[in-house]
A and B are shown apart, each in its own frame.
Chain A
Amino acid sequence: MRKLLPLLAAICLAAPPAAVLGEELELKETPGLEEAVKDGTLPPVTERVPTAPLVVRPTEPGTPGGTLRLLMASAKDTRMMVVYGYTRLVTYTPDYKVVPDIAQSVDVENDRIFTFHLRPGHKWSDGHPFTAEDFRYWFEDVASNKKLYTAGLPEQMMVDGKGPAFEVIDSETVRYTWAKPNPMFLPALAGPDPLYIYAPMHYMRQFNAKYTDEKTLDELVKQNHVRNWAAMHTKLFHPYHTDNPDLPVLDPWVLKTKPPAEQFVFERNPYFHRVDPAGRQLPYIDKVALVIADSKIIPAKTGAGETDLQARYLRFDNYTFLKDAEDHNDYTVRLWRTAPGAQLALYPNLNVTDAAWRRLNRDVRFRRALSLAIDRHEINQAIYYGLAVEGQNTVLTESPLYDPAYRTAWASYDPKQASRLLDEIGLTKRDASGIRLLPDGQPLEIVIENAGESTEQSDVLELIRDTWAEVGIHLFSKPSQLDIWRRRVYSGATMMSVDKGVEDGLVSADMPPDDFVPTTQAQVQWPMWGQYLETKGKSGEAVDIPDVQELQKLYKAWFAAKDSDERAEVWRKILKIHADDVFSIGLIAGVPQPVVVSNKLHNVPQEGIFNWVPGAFFGYYHMDTFWLTPDGSNQASTASPKG
């Protein structure tokens, strides 16, 4: 589910070139590369950095050098370096403004004509120039090539089924024109897993049938164990997945280790386009080493001091252990915020196939009763040390759309009222052990299925089991496998699931309400309705509950709204419907995320948000400005609060 962010701020983005800052930027040679420059293998820094680099102001000016150690769980996690490096055509700042990054400036007209101005002198990580030719290659020879993109252009570039008109204005300017506004384009380019509209032509052309003869291609195909040249081209051009060390990139660190390996080393990109105000080329850190270890053992390894910066694979229940281990290690544990609307929420499946459960799940009194019979305070105290926020699955306090009524709706612990509601529905008969009976005589046994990936979910369900038993509901927890669980949800076999709440609880009015409306099959409370909309009516079921139909109307209204205020109105209506109808039973939100930072690492904010969207994990906080204390000096990083 892609999260889309404000486009209003995207009108006419221009980054101030270095000269506007009032000083001439004096570039200093990068210490780690001085040798190579002397030897002549690398050009001097003045020729490596674009004529108008992006100046990034770090919290504390840094010293280049050092190796950063990170722990990851599988070779596929090398993509995290692309996420953390967060180098995109346009990027988000921590206050959700879209600014140009790789592009020097972007002109947006009516949300439908996008002109990108590149930085003159910008080069790929192997020294070749980065020009409009790379955009043309991608658009004409890759994305429009039926053999490579069998399904056509990526969906974020299609408006009403039509792609854009692409023009190369000059070697540093390209333009995309759509007939109608495309609000998805810039957010897609700036996302944590971005849309790539450029490719290194000088490298990829050797794998493209349009530019290379058949004989050479056949040789390469054999070497790469693929079926044909199209498969080879796709396999070797995975800039997000970083599995090809030969692929030129624009990210701050470039993969140097060929898979498979137990340790992946990334070295600095000598042609990176960002510099600090003192003229030092970023990133500060020379090398990043990713050590692959089993995900379950990563908290233990972190506690043994084997990493310099770790948050991935650390959970809140590891916090006490990590804090304790601070004493004999050189790190501190910080607690960052996470942004989902709820850490955990129960999702009654409105599309369950069993008729009796279907009737119950669709009855709003049933969902309200279930919600009232949960003691969220107990859960908060027992499992989260009282640090979480109790309430429903909705926007968080920091969001401009927040209203306390949304969070507290039907979220108090009131077993009497819950009982009354259940009696009202007609579930008055009970069996010998006090469990209510359905009209057909079945006991009211709810099976909550989940992906079985965290013990946290089982612990919370244990607590809920007790309080639900008091009102006559029996709870069974069924941990399963990720894709088996999801298949069961999609097919309607599951009656209720437990999962994370909405991915982004820090929405503002200008973000589309995708998570609150049936848009995709992946939403476990209404998978078939979501599938119906996702496939445009080809499969799934049409929505048949009036309130959800209202949500669909409001979704269309959001896109048609003329300004921010109208969009905010639509949002409030959507959130109110969710608060009243309790489509998902939120439990707790705002669970802190432990972030372990070595005392040698500077410029990592004391407080921040660790989330996929928004945040790109460490991406928003400019990992290229993190720096390590040089060996031999005993300067420890001071905890610097950063807004």
Chain B
Amino acid sequence: MFHYIMRRVLIMIPTLIVISAVIFTIIKLPPGDYLSSYIETLRQSHEAVDEQKIAFLRAQFHLDEPAWKQYLYWVSGFIRGDLGYSALYDLPVSQVVGDKLLLTFIVSFSTIVFTWIVAFPIGVYSATHQYSLSDYGLTLLGFLGLATPNFLLALVLLYFANVHFGISIGGLMDPQYLDKPWTIAKGVSVLKHLWIPVLVIGAAGTAGMIRRLRANLLDELQKQYFVTARAKGLSPFRALIKYPLRMSLNPFIADIGALLPHVISGAAVVSVVLSLPTTGPMLLDALRSQDMYLAGSFLMFMAALTVVGVFLSDLALAWLDPRIRLEGGVTR
């Protein structure tokens, strides 16, 4: 076990190095750099191009130096924990990201909780009442949520919320609470705005979870031990919860690894449409203007979280399922 853990931790390092190289290359791929897109935006709006500011930015972000040097500057920064300076926002990256992290976390966490709360009972019900009318009905609902374009659903809900409930359009709170300290009123305002993104992003996620839980549970429900338990007189509900449900939880624990970066990044498209102050739109803007430090550092942050998250979920899985502990890692 110890060897397994050590090996996993050591492999993380080359993985992250390769990821950083890939991120850097892809962000640098489009012709031009942050400055060229900045200059063209100025020209398009007929504003004067301040030569002095351009020269200053060029030096600040080492854009006049060869690509490999820029890569080294960037890597040496975030290894030390210095995420760098964002050209787009004119602020240190940690400040830009840190500001949005709390709200991103709130949205994503609520979405995940919502997805689980909705999908779990539906999945179990679908499995136990296989091929019934309600099974088909609930599955249809789940698939509708998956098939409807997120942004369309978001816009429709936005409209209804504004017209019927008077909720302000977009954002996560009423304008008067922006940048003010947290109070009950501010919390209530956030809740009022929160249900739309949670509903929209969650709707897509529930379908997948419902089907997976249903499939896994159905497999378990056919097995001998469950039939024996029922035959021995164990109540159906208790028998279900104590044995097959636990067996079918494996995919969910494995998913936790992928959850961490998801929580941080937030669904980008829906956030853009709803104008949420989360990290999704920030990343999108950074990528579009080739802001190397903001986009690259943030992506590395997410990559690190993914790698660590997957590792943790593997550990959790090993703890949960003795079969993995005893058999896995031995078979080559």
Are B179 and A257 interface neighbours, CB within 8 A? Answer: yes
Within B217-264, the residues touching A (CB, 8 Å) are: none
A636 proximal to B (CB < 8 A): no
Residue interface bits A241-267, CB-to-B below 8 A is 1, else 0: 001000000000000010111110000
Nearest to A233 among chain B residues (CB) is: B56
Are B55 and A487 interface neighbours, CB within 8 A? Answer: no
| Chain B residues within an 8 Å CB radius of A296 | 272-273
| Chain A residues within an 8 Å CB radius of B272 | 294, 296
Nearest to B288 among chain A residues (CB) is: A481
A301 proximal to B (CB < 8 A): yes
Query: Given A150-B55, A231-B56, A297-B169, does the pair A225, B85 have CB atoms closer than 8 Å?
Result: yes
Are A259 and B90 interface neighbours, CB within 8 A? Answer: yes
Are B48 and A193 interface neighbours, CB within 8 A? Answer: yes
Residue interface bits A410-425, CB-to-B below 8 A is 1, else 0: 0000000000000000
B52 proximal to A (CB < 8 A): yes
| Chain A residues within an 8 Å CB radius of B162 | 304
A227 proximal to B (CB < 8 A): yes
| Chain A residues within an 8 Å CB radius of B47 | 192-193, 612
| Chain B residues within an 8 Å CB radius of A2 | 48
Within B87-104, the residues touching A (CB, 8 Å) are: 89-92, 95-96, 99
Query: Given A75-B89, A304-B162, does the pair A234, B41 have CB atoms closer than 8 Å?
Result: no
Residue interface bits A1-31, CB-to-B below 8 A is 1, else 0: 1110000000000000000000000000000
Within A280-335, the residues touching B (CB, 8 Å) are: 289, 291, 293-294, 296-297, 300-301, 304, 306
Within B149-197, the residues touching A (CB, 8 Å) are: 158, 162, 168-171, 175, 178-179
* B29-37, B114-122, B310-318 - the one binding chain A: B29-37
Cβ distance B103 to chain A, nearest Cβ, rounded Å: 10
Contacting A260 at CB < 8 Å: which of B55, B85, B99, B273? B99
Q: A503–B47 Cα gap in the complex (Å)?
A: 11
Nearest to B173 among chain A residues (CB) is: A262
| Chain A residues within an 8 Å CB radius of B327 | none
B13 proximal to A (CB < 8 A): no
Are A261 and B178 interface neighbours, CB within 8 A? Answer: yes
Are B55 and A151 interface neighbours, CB within 8 A? Answer: yes
B331 proximal to A (CB < 8 A): no
B325 proximal to A (CB < 8 A): no
Contacting B281 at CB < 8 Å: which of A155, A191, A294, A483? A294
Are A482 and B44 interface neighbours, CB within 8 A? Answer: yes
B69 proximal to A (CB < 8 A): no
Are A486 and B43 interface neighbours, CB within 8 A? Answer: yes
| Chain B residues within an 8 Å CB radius of A259 | 89-91
| Chain A residues within an 8 Å CB radius of B31 | 484, 487
Nearest to A191 among chain B residues (CB) is: B48
| Chain A residues within an 8 Å CB radius of B43 | 1, 486, 522
Contacting B37 at CB < 8 Å: which of A148, A155, A482? A482
Contacting A293 at CB < 8 Å: which of B39, B60, B170, B288? B170
Are B46 and A293 interface neighbours, CB within 8 A? Answer: no
Q: How large is the interface on A (under 10, 10 to 19, 20 to 34, 35 or more residues)?
A: 35 or more
A36 proximal to B (CB < 8 A): no
| Chain B residues within an 8 Å CB radius of A231 | 56, 59-60
B321 proximal to A (CB < 8 A): no
Q: A641–B48 Cα gap in the complex (Å)?
A: 32
| Chain B residues within an 8 Å CB radius of A149 | 52
Contacting B179 at CB < 8 Å: which of A75, A261, A304? A261
Cβ distance B275 to chain A, nearest Cβ, rounded Å: 4
Query: Given A150-B55, A243-B90, A300-B169, does the pair A263, B40 have CB atoms closer than 8 Å?
Result: no
Are B169 and A227 interface neighbours, CB within 8 A? Answer: no
Cβ distance A328 to chain B, nearest Cβ, rounded Å: 9
Q: A231–B46 Cα gap in the complex (Å)?
A: 26
B132 proximal to A (CB < 8 A): no
Q: A499–B37 Cα gap in the complex (Å)?
A: 17
Are A69 and B91 interface neighbours, CB within 8 A? Answer: no
A56 proximal to B (CB < 8 A): no
| Chain B residues within an 8 Å CB radius of A487 | 31-32, 36, 40
**Residue of B39, B43, B169 contacting most chain A CB atoms (<10 Å):** B169
Are B37 and A263 interface neighbours, CB within 8 A? Answer: no
Q: A191–B47 Cα gap in the complex (Å)?
A: 10
Q: A301–B92 Cα gap in the complex (Å)?
A: 30
**Residue of B53, B92, B168, B171 contacting most chain A CB atoms (<10 Å):** B171
Nearest to B158 among chain A residues (CB) is: A300
Contacting A227 at CB < 8 Å: which of B32, B41, B59, B168? B59
Contacting A306 at CB < 8 Å: which of B158, B168, B277? B168
Cβ distance A278 to chain B, nearest Cβ, rounded Å: 32
Cβ distance B107 to chain A, nearest Cβ, rounded Å: 15
Contacting B32 at CB < 8 Å: which of A192, A261, A451, A483? A483
| Chain A residues within an 8 Å CB radius of B65 | none
Q: A26–B114 Cα gap in the complex (Å)?
A: 65
Cβ distance B284 to chain A, nearest Cβ, rounded Å: 10
Residue interface bits B272-301, CB-to-A below 8 A is 1, else 0: 111101000100000010000000000000
Q: A2–B40 Cα gap in the complex (Å)?
A: 15
Cβ distance B291 to chain A, nearest Cβ, rounded Å: 13
Are B179 and A262 interface neighbours, CB within 8 A? Answer: yes
| Chain A residues within an 8 Å CB radius of B30 | 484
Nearest to A340 among chain B residues (CB) is: B46
Are B46 and A613 interface neighbours, CB within 8 A? Answer: yes
Are A306 and B44 interface neighbours, CB within 8 A? Answer: no
Q: A304–B162 Cα gap in the complex (Å)?
A: 8
Nearest to B31 among chain A residues (CB) is: A487
| Chain A residues within an 8 Å CB radius of B168 | 301, 304, 306
Q: A484–B53 Cα gap in the complex (Å)?
A: 22
**Residue of B40, B41, B162, B277 contacting most chain A CB atoms (<10 Å):** B40
| Chain B residues within an 8 Å CB radius of A230 | 56
Contacting B96 at CB < 8 Å: which of A227, A260, A294? A260
Residue interface bits A157-188, CB-to-B below 8 A is 1, else 0: 00000000000000000000000000000000
Cβ distance B324 to chain A, nearest Cβ, rounded Å: 45
| Chain B residues within an 8 Å CB radius of A257 | 179
Q: A259–B86 Cα gap in the complex (Å)?
A: 13
Cβ distance B175 to chain A, nearest Cβ, rounded Å: 5
Are B92 and A225 interface neighbours, CB within 8 A? Answer: yes
Are A227 and B60 interface neighbours, CB within 8 A? Answer: yes
| Chain B residues within an 8 Å CB radius of A301 | 168-170
Are A482 and B41 interface neighbours, CB within 8 A? Answer: yes
Q: A291–B44 Cα gap in the complex (Å)?
A: 24
Nearest to B170 among chain A residues (CB) is: A297
Residue interface bits B48-83, CB-to-A below 8 A is 1, else 0: 100111011001100000000000000000000000
Nearest to A143 among chain B residues (CB) is: B52
| Chain B residues within an 8 Å CB radius of A243 | 90
Query: Given A225-B85, A293-B170, A483-B32, does the pair A262, B277 have CB atoms closer than 8 Å?
Result: yes
Cβ distance B71 to chain A, nearest Cβ, rounded Å: 18
Cβ distance A364 to chain B, nearest Cβ, rounded Å: 27
Q: A316–B305 Cα gap in the complex (Å)?
A: 45
Shortest Cβ-Cβ A-B pairs, 5 listed: A263-B178, A294-B275, A483-B37, A483-B40, A522-B43
What are 25 A-B pairs with beta-carbon distances under 8 A? A149-B52, A150-B55, A151-B51, A154-B51, A192-B47, A227-B59, A230-B56, A231-B56, A234-B52, A243-B90, A257-B179, A260-B95, A263-B179, A291-B175, A296-B272, A296-B273, A300-B169, A301-B168, A301-B169, A483-B41, A484-B30, A484-B32, A486-B40, A612-B45, A612-B47
Binding site for A on B (CB under 8 A): 30-32, 36-37, 39-41, 43-48, 51-53, 55-56, 59-60, 85, 89-92, 95-96, 99, 158, 162, 168-171, 175, 178-179, 272-275, 277, 281, 288
Other than A151-B52, A260-B95, A263-B178, give 10 A-B pairs with Cβ distance below 8 A. Answer: A154-B51, A154-B52, A230-B56, A293-B275, A296-B273, A301-B168, A304-B169, A481-B288, A487-B40, A612-B46
